[in-house]
Structure 1
Amino acid sequence: MNPDVEADIKDLSATLSSIEAVMDLDALRAAVADLETQATRPDLWDDQEKAQKVTSQLSHKQGELRRVTGLRSRLDDLPLLYELAEEAEDAEAQADADNDRAKLREEIASLEVRTLLSGEYDERNALVTIRAEAGGVDAADFAEMLLRMYSRWAERHQYGVEVFDTSYAEEAGIKSATFRVTAPYAYGTLSVEQGTHRLVRISPFDNQGRRQTSFAGVEVVPVVEQTDHVEIDEKDLRVDVYRSSGPGGQGVNTTDSAVRLTHIPTGIVVSCQNERSQLQNKATAMNVLQAKLLERRRQEEQAKMDALKDSGSSWGNQMRSYVLHPYQMVKDLRTEHEVGNPSAVLDGEIDDFLEAGIRWRKQSQQA
C-alpha cells in the first residue's frame, strides 16, 4: 500500500478512536438496551408523552451506534480494498478505494463535530426566531429568505419544522417568524447561527437599482422540557387575543384565536397563531415563553462565568455576510469560512458553516 495512503488511514483510525472514546460505546449500547426494554413494555403508551420520548431517544441512540460502528467497519475494510486493487492491478478498483477513503474522511469529520456538542442543552430541539432589522423592506425580504434557508436545510436532513408564528411585513417579506426544529442536537447545531446576518445586493424594491445593505437577527434557544421548572407567575403575564392573519391580511381563522403573551418583568413577548383554538395557542405560546426565559437564565449564568474569566469577547453580534453584488460570496465573520455560491447557501446548504461555527466556538471556549 502507498505509504501516504497507509498514513492517512492510520490518522483516520486514530480520529475515530477518539470519537469512540468520547461517545463511550459501552454506555451507548447499555442505554440502547435499556430503552429497548422500555419500548417493549405493554403499558408504554399509557403515557403518550413519555412513550414518544422513549421511542425518539431509542431511534436516535440506535442511529448513533449504527453510525459509529458502521464507520469503524468500513475503515477496517479499507486496507483490504487497496490490497485487492494492487494485486489485481485494477485502476478502477483503486479509484473506488480512494473515493471510499474520501467519503470516510468527510463522515468522520462530521461525526467529530457532533462530539463537540456537549453543552447542557445541546441535545435538544431548537426554537428559532428570525427578525427583520435595519434595511426596511429589503430587511423584511431578507428575513423571509433566512426562514426559507433554515427550512430547506431541515428538509434536506429530513428534520421536522413547525412554524409557531409569522408576522408579515406590509410590502414584502416578514417582520418576524418563530419556528421549532425537531432533530437530534438541533439546538447545539443551530445555536452557532445566533447573531446578526447581513445582506448586500441590488435591491429588487428600488426602482433606481441601487445597492442595499440590510440586516436580520437570528435567535436560537433550546426547547424546554418538563424537568426545567421555569416558573411563570400568572400575575406577571399579560394575555392578548387577536384574529390570526396571513399575507396581505388574509384571515387564517375567523375567530380571535391567536394569542400574544407579554412577560411583564422581562418584557419578552411571544405569539402563536398556528393552532385552531385559543387554548392550544396559549399552551404553545407558554412553551415558547418558557424556552426564552430558560435561555435568558442560561445567558445570565454564562455572563457571570465570563465575568469570572474576564472574557470580553462576544460571538452573538454580526456573524455572517451574504454578498450578491458586486460579487458573489457568503462569509462567516467569526470563522473566516466562505463560499462563492450564495444561491446554494440560501437554498439550505449551510452544513459547512455550521461545522466551522461549532469548531470555532469550542476553540473559543477552551481559549
Structure 2
Amino acid sequence: MKTKIIQITAGRGPAECCWVVAQVLKLFLEEIKNSGFTYSILQRDKGFENGTVQSATIQLKGKEVDTFLALWLGTIQWVGTSKFRKHHKRKNWFIGMYEIKQTELITLNEKDISFQAMRSSGPGGQNVNKVNSAVRATYNPTGDQVVVMDSRSQHQNKKIAIERLKEKVHQSQLTKLQKSLSDQWENHLNIQRGNPIKVFKGTDFKKNHKKQSYASNRQQLKKDLRNELKN
C-alpha cells in the first residue's frame, strides 16, 4: 500500500481560482472514496471569499494510487464566468495539483530533542508548584518548541512533549513545502496553461467536466491545417 501527499493550490490566483480549488477538492475526495482509497486532510487554508479554499493538502493511501493520480496531477482548468465579478471578461481559470515528495519531509530524530525542566503553574495548588514537573522540549535542527505541564510526572510530560513536537515540526515542514509549491506553481503556470490534465466547464462540475485528450486534439489540428492548405 502506497502513501502519497497531494496539494491542490490556487497559487497566487484570485478568488475565482480559490473557488475552483474548493470544487475540485470535493470531486477529488469523492473519487478517492469511490476508488476505495483512504485519505486524511492534513491542512486546508480558506480563501478570502466564503466557500473558497486557497490550498489543501491530502494524504492518500491505497494500491495503484499512482495510476489514479496520473489522471489528476498537473494543471486543472475551469472555463466559466466569475462568481465574484459578474462583468469580468476572463473565462479561463487555472489551479494546480501536485505531489509533495515525502523524502523532502524531515524524519524527526528524538536524539535531537533537548529538554528543560520548568516549574509548573496553573491549576493544581501547592503540590504542583513545589516540583519542576513541566517540560520545555526543543527540536534543535529547526528550533521548534513546545511546553507541556499536563501531568505532575516529568517523565509523562516528556512523552507528551515528544508527540506534540513531532506534530508541530511536521506541520511547520508542510507549511514551508506548501509555500515552495505555490512559488513553483506561479513560475510554471504560463507554460502549463496550454496543457491542462483536466478541463471543467460551467458551475456544475459533476455534469460538465471532461478529461483533456491531447492525441485527439493534435489529430484535429492536423486535419484543420490540411483543409486550410487545400483551400
TM-score by length of 1: 0.34
Q: Aligned in 2, Cα 1:329/1:189: closer, same or farther, shift over 3 Å?
A: closer
Structure number with the higher helix fraction is 1
Distance in structure 2 (CA, Å) of the matches to 1:238 and 1:336: 53
Q: State the secondary structure of the residue aligned to 1:202.
A: coil
Match of 1:79 in 2: none
Match of 1:332 in 2: 212
Match of 1:65 in 2: none
Output the amino acid matched with 1:216: I
Deviation sequence 1:55-93 (CA, Å, 0-9, x none):
xxxxxxxxxxxxxxxxxxxxxxxxxxxxxxxxxxxxxxx
Match of 1:195 in 2: 74
Structure number with the higher strand fraction is 2
Residues 79-118 of structure 1 correspond to what in structure 2 (within 5 A)? none
Structure ranking higher on relative contact order (CA contacts 8 Å, 6+ apart): 2
What's the offset of the Cα at 1:198?
1.4
Match of 1:182 in 2: 61
Distance in structure 1 (CA, Å) of the matches to 2:65 and 2:82: 33
Match of 1:285 in 2: 171
Match of 2:91 in 1: 212
Q: Judge conservation of contact 1:166–1:174 (CA < 8 Å) in 2.
A: yes
Q: Aligned in 2, Cα 1:315/1:137: closer, same or farther, shift over 3 Å?
A: closer
Return 5+ residue gaps in structure 1 as ranges.
1-122, 242-276, 297-313, 338-367
Return 5+ residue gaps in structure 2 as ranges.
113-138, 147-162, 182-190, 203-207, 218-231
Q: Judge conservation of contact 1:125–1:187 (CA < 8 Å) in 2.
A: no
Output the amino acid matched with 2:25: L
Superposition RMSD in Å: 4.4
Distance in structure 2 (CA, Å) of the matches to 1:238 and 1:207: 47
What's the offset of the Cα at 1:201?
0.4
Match of 2:196 in 1: 319
Residues 332-351 of structure 1 correspond to what in structure 2 (within 5 A)? 332=212, 334=214, 336=216
Which deviates more, 128-137 or 158-167? 128-137
Q: Aligned in 2, Cα 1:176/1:209: closer, same or farther, shift over 3 Å?
A: same
- Tell me the matched-pair count: 157
What's the offset of the Cα at 1:208?
3.1
Q: State the secondary structure of the residue aligned to 1:237.
A: coil
TM-score by length of 2: 0.51
What's the offset of the Cα at 1:213?
1.9
Deviation sequence 1:309-363 (CA, Å, 0-9, x none):
xxxxx989842342425xx5524264559xxxxxxxxxxxxxxxxxxxxxxxxxx
What percent of counterpart residues are identical?
Answer: 14
Q: Aligned in 2, Cα 1:217/1:237: closer, same or farther, shift over 3 Å?
A: farther
Deviation sequence 1:27-53 (CA, Å, 0-9, x none):
xxxxxxxxxxxxxxxxxxxxxxxxxxx
Q: Which of 130, 137, 154 pairs up with 2:15?
A: 137
Q: Aligned in 2, Cα 1:335/1:184: closer, same or farther, shift over 3 Å?
A: farther
1:169 aligns with 2:47: yes
Q: Aligned in 2, Cα 1:239/1:283: closer, same or farther, shift over 3 Å?
A: closer
Match of 2:152 in 1: none
Q: Aligned in 2, Cα 1:163/1:138: closer, same or farther, shift over 3 Å?
A: same
